[in-house]
Chain A
Amino acid sequence: MRVRILFAKDPAVRFISHLDLARAWERALRRSGVPLKLAGEFNPHPRLVFAAPLSVGACGERELLDVFLAQGMGLDEFARAVRTRLPAGLPLLGVREVSPEEPALTAQANLADYRWEPRGPSALGSVRQDVEAGAAAAEVLHRAVEAFWAAPACPVERKTKSGQLRTIDVRPLLKGLAVEVGDLSSDGSRSSDGGRPAGAPDSAVVFRAALGTEDAVRPSEVVAALGACLKQVFAPEAGLVTRGWLYHENGEGGSLPLWPPTGDGPAMF
């Protein structure tokens, strides 16, 4: 049985790496006692397939994970067993059964929504992000986004795996970029979360970008490009990166969220 899990990586655990996250999930599943299918003769391990890794420091609101069970079981029963065995900060949001014939999650997820919220004083370079400057931050982001679309190209440097620096243009890689102000969390779950200066409105840039391919762009690169458009050095790490919905883009311009937003599929909690 193949079970797809919808979960979040909250700010509380944002500093764990993808490997840490995978290990935390494996241990939570072991604790829950669900019948995991083990693979491998020496060193038998359950197979966990994540849609896409999240980097250290990044949060996720709609993360996906496929697990494989040796025997079938009810989804409600599965969810009950697992949700109480997860560390704080990794809530289970939904489970559904997926046909074994469906392509691997990694192959399906090729597009994602991101949000970057400036939080630390250094996030917007010389523009201070504190109580008084809350509105100013939103304005800075607006100006940066305008400059971004107005510019002929938005180059940033990327370090390749071999350690060389390569210049890439961020602009054609983005499917959208905008500023959001107000309560940005889609389900309101984060509205009580700390990190925002008291009294300051949320302000963030949101964008949609490719995942896991040559065309993938890192949130830090987008933020750096935005800063460059204003001749500022933004500090991506002093803000909060959150990944939202994951999509499958079919190559003809259509894209569908990988977790059906409505219908009979998902069991939401």
Chain B
Amino acid sequence: MTDLERLIEYEILPRVAKPARYTGGEWNMIRKDHAQTAIKVALAFPDVYEIGMSHLGLRILYDVVNRRLDALAERVFAPWLDMEEALRARGIPLFTLESRTPVSAFDLLGFSLQYELSYTNLLNMLDLAGLPLAAAERDARHPLVIAGGPCAYNPEPLAPFLDAVVLGEGEEVLGEIIDLLARHKAAGGGMVKDADAAAGPDREAAIDGAAVHRQSRAQFLRDLARIPGVYVPSLYEVSYHPNGAVAAITPVKGAVGDGQSAAAQAPPVVEKRLLASMAGAPYPSAPVVPFIDIVHDRAMVEVFRGCTQGCRFCHAGMVYRPVREKTAAEVVDQAARQVASTGHDELSLVSLSSCDYSRIGPVLRELLDTHAPSGVGVSLPSLRVDSFSVALAQEVQRVRKTGLTFAPEAGTQRLRDVINKRVTREDILGTAGAAFAAGWDGLKLYFMIGLPTETEEDLEGIVELARAIVAKYEEVNAGHKRRRPVRVTVSVSTFVPKAMTPFQWEPQDGIDTIKAKQAYLKRRLPKGKIELNWHEPEASFIEAVMARGDRRLARTLEEVWRLGARFDGWGDQFRFDRWTEAFAKSGVDPTFYANRRRAEDEVFPWDHLTGGVDKEFLVDERRAAFHGQTTDDCRQVGCTNCGVCPALGVAIDLHPEDDRAERDGRAERGDRATVAAVPASPAESLSEGGTAR
């Protein structure tokens, strides 16, 4: 044990909260020999261990990288404030869990961008790793810093800090990036960490050496930009109109390739990557099992990707298209592997709307029959507003009692039509009635305030709906003498307009308006039976600024980080005064980003990036919203022309048939049907949402 390790082990870790956040060593952790492995990847999550370890994408990419013989992946999370202080006080650089290797010694540092309020943590982690924040100040001696995840669809506020951004699903493209790194490294042009020594003590030679490293990184980035789905921000120039809006984002001329032809430049539009089919997609069979209690402490099997419900506010619903299902056989098989390899007593079927999975009923029953006898429960993270979902939830209760959560999102039919949340009051009350009849005595409801076209009537709709649900409970339980009091939780989040959605042109309500709306609900919702939760409007405001921000916000981010901003997604850490100061110092008017209605033809900071959905489709959807017209799910009614399938050369991929024969190996994979429509399943889906904390 070195002196440094002794310090960490006996002076630092014993004095921080939850030291096991930083010690690794969990079951199924993979530790490889750095000396024998060509490419070393640090997978970074800019939040605490308990949140990062709950993230499915991290579990998948850890597995994808570590399957390779020539690469290793280790994890690093944002150290909590006490740990940061200890590391800084003793000059200890940020290290990975697996081997306590400094992050700066890796070839690739990949961040997961799940929410805008974690951006300051990303900067902080770069700094704690001892890396220059600005990509322009890094060279081939530093790790390549990349990012992916939902926020990658508009990464512009982070553009100067990132070497590259990956759009879409990472399973394949991360491998291609590693391949390129390996080739560069083998050719001596990549991450030659000891090139400094080779340059010798001569100062001139050292300067030459630094130039070589800069050139090497620049060349690498040009090659990187040729990989589909990889966006290299430094290869694009942004110009602005006098009014502040973006005028154009164009590739820097001659940036890619040999520089001899005009065509040799980064692509004008970077398209997201995705797996054409989830059937046969790589999936971890032995994920890391944490010692400490994490947010989602369970085995997870993804049942499909994408969602075509078409909720107009929903970023995930627009950027993860199209729907691609796993076969029932795969789901059952992966579930069995995960349960056996982890020892978890709960298995979650995850997706954006798991009740929409074609074979959800049979798969759920089979999983329960197999695993319930050994005390393993199955859970659905999201339920639709329909009695079918209640019936599924009832099945799940065979092992573990869980709460029920539904998301009507808006209080009136009119507003639900605007946002394309195709669920009626009858659906909602019928579902609540079915749940109460099945024995539940409480429900959690998700709503949004500040949605486009919202009026006081819509707020009153939330109140009225919550009251009607309480009345429903009384009605269903009218005959019971010893019934428990009903508990209805109304969780109200603030609408944040997101890039690449039909509402990307819309303003967010001002902070004062949101406060007034929250106050209205607090006043009107009867206390006791109904509990109201809400989000801090200031934090939602910052989220809105970043979600549709451009590169000029990078200065703000750096300022606010210098002012001490960390863990902005944590209510107890978020401090709005730091942000106001940072906006002032960086000369940025945040309302320009959050509260301004954009012209329909405005060029957006993310117009050179695409998730495959046509901007015209978004324009049409927005118009339909204002006319109160709904758009059906393309799974039921056929193509609605969002453009994603032709743009990306993919198709909706459903597996509604019983594939037992396939599982028994008696049929070819060819019997997997690619269909555009399936027999009507209940139309509406509600997601529990991923933002509640």
Contact = CB atoms under 8 A, between A and B. Distances in A.
* A and B associate in one complex: yes
Pick the most buried of A119, A123, A239: most chain B CB atoms within 10 A of its CB: A119
A120 B10 contact: yes
A70 to B, nearest CB: 10
Contacts of A15: 13, 19-20, 23
Interface in A79-93: 85, 87-89
Interface string B393-414: 0000001110000000000000
Contacts of A20: 20, 291-293
A33 B375 CA distance: 12
Pick the most buried of B10, B374, B376: most chain A CB atoms within 10 A of its CB: B10
B20 A24 contact: no
A28 B35 CA distance: 31
Nearest to A241: B14
Interface string B1-45: 100011101110111000110010111000000000000000000
A28 B7 CA distance: 31
A237 B14 contact: yes
Contact of A119 (B10, B293, B341): B10
A69 B16 CA distance: 38
Contacts of B7: 120-121
B451 interface: no
A27 interface: yes
A153 interface: no
Contact of A88 (B25, B289, B293): B25
Given A16-B291, A27-B289, A31-B343, A87 B25 contact: yes
Interface in A35-66: 36, 38, 42-46, 56-57
Contacts of B1: 194-196
A40 to B, nearest CB: 9
Chain A: interface size category: 35 or more
Contact of A123 (B10, B23, B292, B342): B10
B344 interface: yes
B292 A16 contact: yes
Given A42-B400, A120-B7, A26 B23 contact: no
Contacts of B5: 194
B27 A24 contact: yes
B504 to A, nearest CB: 44
Interface in A108-130: 119-123
A134 to B, nearest CB: 13
Contacts of A123: 10
A67 B412 CA distance: 55
Pick the most buried of A42, A44, A56: most chain B CB atoms within 10 A of its CB: A44
A119 B6 contact: yes
B676 interface: no
Contacts of A24: 27, 291
Pick the most buried of B25, B342, B401: most chain A CB atoms within 10 A of its CB: B25
Interface string B77-105: 00000000000000000000000000000
Nearest to A43: B400
B340 interface: yes
B342 A238 contact: no
B50 interface: no
Contacts of A75: none
A29 interface: yes
A19 interface: yes
B340 A31 contact: yes
A263 B581 CA distance: 74
Contact of B399 (A44, A196, A240): A44
A87 B19 contact: no
Contacts of A240: 10
A29 B343 contact: yes
A237 B15 contact: yes
Given A12-B25, A15-B20, A19-B293, A195 B6 contact: yes
A78 to B, nearest CB: 16
A197 interface: yes
A23 interface: yes
Contacts of B400: 42-43
A210 to B, nearest CB: 24
B375 A85 contact: no
B662 interface: no
B25 A195 contact: no
A89 B345 contact: no
B300 to A, nearest CB: 15
A75 B6 CA distance: 39
Nearest to A39: B375
Contacts of B292: 16-17, 20
Contacts of B375: 36, 38, 44-46
A89 B5 CA distance: 18
A128 to B, nearest CB: 12
Nearest to B13: A15
B6 A197 contact: yes
Nearest to B17: A56
B11 A120 contact: yes
Given A16-B291, A123-B10, A87 B343 contact: no
Interface in B308-351: 340-345
A121 B11 contact: yes
A30 interface: yes
A137 B7 CA distance: 17
A195 B340 contact: no
A86 to B, nearest CB: 8
A96 to B, nearest CB: 23
Contacts of B289: 27, 87
Nearest to A10: B25
A29 B27 CA distance: 13
Nearest to B26: A87
B27 A57 contact: no
Nearest to A88: B25
Nearest to A89: B25
B11 A27 contact: no
Interface in B656-693: none
A181 interface: no
A174 interface: no
Given A20-B20, A43-B401, A26 B343 contact: yes
A226 to B, nearest CB: 17
Contacts of A46: 375
B49 to A, nearest CB: 12
A16 B20 CA distance: 6
A13 interface: yes
Contact of B345 (A28, A30, A33): A30
Shortest Cβ-Cβ A-B pairs, 8 listed: A194-B1, A120-B10, A27-B343, A237-B14, A30-B343, A31-B343, A15-B19, A119-B10
Given A13-B23, A87-B27, A195-B6, 11 more contacts: A26-B343, A27-B27, A28-B27, A30-B345, A43-B400, A45-B345, A87-B289, A119-B9, A119-B10, A120-B9, A120-B14
29 contacts: A15-B23, A16-B292, A20-B291, A23-B293, A27-B289, A27-B342, A27-B345, A28-B343, A30-B343, A30-B344, A30-B345, A30-B376, A31-B340, A33-B340, A42-B400, A44-B375, A57-B19, A87-B291, A88-B25, A120-B7, A120-B14, A121-B11, A194-B6, A195-B6, A195-B10, A237-B10, A237-B14, A238-B14, A239-B10
